[in-house]
Structure 1
Amino acid sequence: MPMKTWRPLPDKDCLPAALYRAGQVREMDRLAIEDYGIPGDTLMERAGQAAFDLLRGRWPEARRILVLAGTGNNGGDGFVLARLALQAGMEVQILQLGDRERIRGDARANALRYAALSGPWRPCGDHLPQDVDLIVDAVLGTGLERTVEGRWARILGQVNAANIPVLSLDIPSGLHSDTGSILGTAVCADATISFIALKQGMFTADGPDCCGDISFHALDVPAWVYASQVLSARRLDWSSQRKHLRPRKRSAHKGDFGHVLVVGGDRGYAGAGRLCAEAALRTGAGLVSLATRREHLPGVLAGRPEIMVHPVEEAAHIDPLLEKASVIALGPGLGRQSWGQALWQRVLDRELPLVVDADALNLLADAPRHREDWVLTPHPGEAARLLGWTTRDVHGDRFAAAEAIQRQYGGVVVLKGAGSIIAAGAHHCPAVCSDGNPGMASGGMGDVLTGVIAGWLAQGWPIREAAQLGVCLHGAAGDKAARAGERGLLASDLMSHIRRLANPDNE
């Protein structure tokens, strides 16, 4: 039976924040070799050693190792690992994908060192052996640009179906390093160790599914090598964002922390407005009002009396509320009927910071406009409508989609999904949040996120910082709530965790 014993990797807090594209990492590799005199063979040895150390730490009982090797440098890293495992007394076999005669340079040197130990090395057949404890994926590296097809795709599919733990070297084979999209077929690893620099595609789209737990080793590359490149994206999580929070002054009062006005909750959607409003309160907004249909007042007040609920049946009825608000959260449960459209138009006439979500985004797609004082929070379907793309296009390059929305509509864009992306314009590289989990794929989660971001805006944070704080707090609260199980996780389950995390001294 496959051996499943493992030890956890270092916490993601240990991972660098800087993310790069594959071309940038290749340039770093070149500079390390040519300008700093580190032989390529030395870098490959360090990579193989780091991967082998991870293997022994995470799967200490593994004894039968299968390495799937390609013909490039990724395969070379695999040959180093295989040699080290063989020397440590493990049973090792290498299955070669691609013609071994095409192996060149440092990868060939390490293949020959492995072969000199008489380690098993044969062409990969049509079926993978099942009597192994661990599969090491060293097939395709970061340079992959074309779709994986045919026999190679069938082998990668067998890896995923084998029910055997998988360690990927540098990046899972078949995953695009820059976009995080699967190129036809990709390995879904239990763990991935990334070398020299983290690749931005590992943290969004299909990246989290394919990479599993991510570890990192810089291979002792000099700091000046990193200075040669401008990072293409930043990785954010709550552990980094919470450091920006400070205790409140003892003399503070509710007027110091802003007034959020939530506009939404057409008939049948009272819960969306209520979730958004409560999330703003739990994040720390001083006052929160909800403009919604009259029939929703009793239910909202019964569940959360701290929300000031106002009946708004006609657009003009919202004017007194707009006068008192400092931030507007527009869209949760708004609908696209005449009521929602009228409120949308009324709110847009005011110069107040906005968080725009749900049907307000669909109304925006119907009548595009540009503002710098709003945060747009589309999911992939809404992003596709805003851009006139398909949802598949958005998923194929989430970084490009978020940046395109930001250029067209202005402000700050939060493209929700696995690895939510925050785009804030040409002067700021995009950020991707590594908090969150699949349990958050349930109704109402987006309404909570809108309220959290609005809550930070009300407390005086600039829109980019409010969006970053909001996305990471929301994801971290979801992770806390998911400890009881991802299936069945409700948006309301996040509320107590939002409050606790927003007060880091009390965690």
Structure 2
Amino acid sequence: MPQTKDELPDALYGAAQVRELDARLIAAGTPGIELMQRAARATWRALVRLWPDASELTVLAGHGNNAGDGYLIAALASRAGWAVRVLAVGDPQRLQGDAALAHAEALAAGVASQHWAYDSELRGVLVDALLGTGLSGEVREPCAAAINAINASGLPVTAVDIPSGLCADTGRTLGVAVQADLTVTFIGLKVGLFTGDAADHIGELVFNDLQAGADIYRDIPVRVRRLNPGNLPRPAPRAPTAHKGRFGHVLLIGGDHGFGGAILLSTEAALRSGAGMVSLATRPEHVPAALTRVPEAMALGTSSANQLMGLLEKVSTLVVGPGLGQASWGRALLSAAANASLPQVWDADALNLLASGFVQLPKDCVITPHPGEAARLLGIGTAEVQADRAAAALALSKKYSAVVVLKGSGSLIAHPDGRLSLCHQGHPAMATGGLGDVLAGLIGALLAQGMQAFDAASLAVWLHANAGLQQGKFGRGLAASDLIPAIRQLLEEQAPCLK
């Protein structure tokens, strides 16, 4: 299915960087109150588009600039004839500067404002203008209670800039966070809108740059690059005289007793993603199933690492770990792979054995941990990984001198030189076994076709996530193998085979 155009920028920033962008806009001659007016108008337009039949608005306002945006939205709604009121969570007298001017404008527009109380009634479309991007610690009362009330109301919710309680830098929920149906964000996209817990809180995301010109962004380093169809790395097209020897030979190693399916999924994914030749080293008992499922792959029944040695001299890329297990058989095969000077993808039990100190990771590797595996590799808790996924991915990349794919909601691809890519696509139906095996095989195939490790991992993650999004639309019951034909189709759409 053709991809719709992605209108969002691909540059993602931290909260402090976006504040710097805001300051630059003001220094360039745009008054702060005008920026608030632009933000309010952008939010109002998005809100009316999403709920065209609504006629009542309740704004929950804190006491910072985020509240100022909320008061101006209330003024716009009042002028449009809506029934509007502001519930002030905190003392409006604490408002300063532009936020105080916005408060005065709302009162002049006839907006009713009252202090929020635990029993305050919420009506109409709710506007979350409580905390914004400046929050660093856990949400405190009374804001925590107000957020819980918003989430329990069942009413439509618009978040201004970011859902209150969601960390703009990491996407972590700071105790409690608003679950919005619409989030309208400004000037620069924040990393925390795309990873961690963000998917449960953002709803539809709308971006407005508040008329910032290109010069405003100059010299502000991009923290993370968001993958989209416009910036994907792509394998080169193939000449009419192409033959299988030009596109690599992938060897996939794994499938101990009881885990044969994992390595077969990886093998099929590698085959269908364009590798020139595919070999499989697995338990002898799994060879008949391999020949039935993937007859195009060369299956080697492997009882010991010695049987791998000749094959390792003939292949160009390794995928190690799916179904490998951590017993003596898997350990022996992993040791052999670790001594091979080839580009490699390590997944699953290969990562668990790496974390145990059993082997050293060779050069030119891609590792693909989920958060639990990442925690073991870093020697920390899973919660610490999830608290700052970008930092964890970079730490892993530097520790192991490898390209890292940190899987999960808002998957991250990290390079030892500090580059970070992010893919936020996907679907809840992908919460099923075997998808990581498919991803590992896909990365291996792209490496075999000559892509650099960071590019291969970035493209593979995007293809995998969007295949899951495409197939997830059919609902629960998604099988990992369902992704493989969808990946092949998407790969052809993004990188046509023919010149």
Task: Give the TM-score, by structure 1 length.
Answer: 0.94
Task: Report which stretch shifted further, 353-362 or 251-260.
Answer: 251-260
Tell me, yes or no, if the aligned pair for 2:274 and 2:445 is still in contact at 8 Å.
yes
State which of 475, 480, 504 in structure 1 corresponds to 2:470: 480
The offset of 1:441, in angstroms, is: 1.7
Residues 96 and 124 in structure 1, CA contact (< 8 A), matched pair in contact too:
yes
| Structure 2, unpaired ranges of 5+ | none
Instruction: Output the amino acid matched with 2:43.
Output: A
The question of 1:16 aligning with 2:5 is answered: no
Following TM superposition, by how much is the alpha carbon of 1:130 offset from its aligned partner in structure 2, in angstroms?
4.5
- Alpha-carbon separation, structure 1, partners of 2:298 and 2:229: 30
Higher mean C-alpha displacement, 283-292 vs 368-377: 368-377
1:278-297 equivalence runs, <5 A: 278-297=268-287
Tell me which moved more, 84-93 or 445-454. 84-93
Give the total of aligned pairs: 493
Alignment of 1:139-150 (within 5 A): 139-150=130-141
Contact 2:341–2:362 (CA<8 Å) still a contact in 1? no
Deviation at 1:228, TM superposition (A): 3.3
Matched, 1:114 2:116: no
**Cα deviation, residue 438, structure 1:** 1.9
Q: Does 1:206 align with 2:209?
A: no
- Alpha-carbon distance, 1:222 to partner: 2.2
Contact 1:290 1:307 in 2 (8 A): yes
Q: Tell me, in whole angstroms, the C-alpha distance in 1 between the residues paired with 2:141 and 2:114.
A: 20
Following the alignment from structure 2 to structure 1, what is the Cα–Cα distance between the partners of residues 153 and 182? 15
Task: Specify the alignment match of 1:317 in structure 2.
Answer: 307
- Secondary structure of the equivalent of 1:67? strand
CA gap 1:120/1:201 in 2 versus in 1, 3 angstroms: same
Structure 2 match to 1:303: 293
The yes-or-no answer on 1:495 pairing with 2:499 is no
**In the alignment, what sits opposite 1:219?**
210
Match of 1:41 in 2: 33
Work out which of the residue numbers 429, 444, 462 in structure 2 matches 1:454: 444
> Which residue does 1:335 correspond to in 2?
325
RMSD across aligned positions (CA): 1.6
Equivalences for 1:336-415 in 2 at 5 Å?
336-367=326-357, 369-415=360-406
Give the match's secondary structure for 1:431: strand
Alpha carbons 1:64, 1:90 under 8 Å: kept: yes
CA distance in structure 2 between the partners assigned to 1:11 and 1:117 by the alignment:
40
**Equivalent residues in 2 for 1:41-80, closer than 5 Å:** 41-80=33-72
| 1:267-321 deviations in Å (ceiling 9; x for gaps) | 0111100000111111111111111011111122212212221100111111122
In structure 2, the residue matched to 1:84 is: 76
Q: Which amino acid aligns with 1:32?
A: L
8 A Cα contact 2:123 2:155, kept in partner: no
SS of the residue corresponding to residue 143 of structure 2 reads helix
What SS does the corresponding residue of 1:42 show, helix, strand or coil? Answer: helix
Residue ranges of structure 1 left out of the alignment (5+ in a row): 1-9
Q: Which has the higher mean CA deviation after the structures are superposed, 91-100 or 388-397? A: 91-100
Quote the sequence identity (%). 47
Matched, 1:101 2:90: no
Question: In the alignment, which of 20, 26, 43 is matched to residue 27 of structure 1?
Answer: 20
Per-residue Cα deviation, 1:356-389 (whole angstroms, up to 9, x for no partner): 0000001111116354400010000000000000
Distance 1:238 1:269, change over 3 A: farther
Structure 1 segment 430-441 matched on structure 2, within 5 A: 430-441=420-431
**CA–CA distance in structure 2, aligned partners of residues 72 and 291 of structure 1:** 61
Match in the other structure for 2:259: 269
Could you tell me the TM-score, scaled by structure 2's length? 0.96
Q: Work out the CA distance in 1 between the residues paired with 2:243 and 2:120.
A: 66
- Which deviates further from its counterpart, 173-182 or 57-66? 57-66
CA shift digits 1:192-236 (9 cap, x unpaired): 111000001111111122112211000001211100311111111
1:331 is matched by which residue type in structure 2?
G
1:32 match: secondary structure? helix
Aligned to 2:224: 233
Separation of aligned partners in 1, 2:230 and 2:199 = 19
How far the C-alpha of 1:247 sits from its partner, in A, is 3.4
Checking the alignment, whether the CA contact within 8 Å between 1:128 and 1:158 is kept in structure 2 is: no
What does 1:165-180 correspond to in 2, within 5 Å? 165-180=156-171
Give the match's secondary structure for 1:436.
coil
Distance in 2, matches of 1:253 and 1:341, equals 35
The whole-number CA distance in structure 1 between the counterparts of 2:465 and 2:207 is 22
Q: Quick check: 1:127–1:155 contact (8 Å CA) kept in 2?
A: no
Question: Which deviates more from structure 2 when the two are superposed, residues 368-377 or residues 82-91?
Answer: 368-377
SS at match of 2:117: coil
- Asked if 2 retains the 8 angstrom alpha-carbon contact of 1:127 and 1:158, the reply is no
TM-superposition CA deviations, 1:39-70 (whole Å, max 9, x none):
00110000000000111111111111111111
In structure 2, distance between residues paired with 1:288 and 1:274: 11
Q: Which amino acid counterpart does residue 94 of structure 1 have in structure 2?
A: V
Q: Structure 1 residues 239 and 448 mapped into 2: Cα distance closer, same or farther (>3 Å)?
A: farther
CA–CA distance in structure 2, aligned partners of residues 237 and 127 of structure 1: 44
Residue 6 of structure 1 is matched in structure 2 by: none
Alignment partners' CA distance in 1, 2:468 and 2:43? 31
Q: CA deviation at 1:24?
A: 0.7
* 1:310 maps to amino acid: L
- Paired residues of 2:78 and 2:110 also in contact (CA < 8 A): no
Letter in 1 for 2:391: A
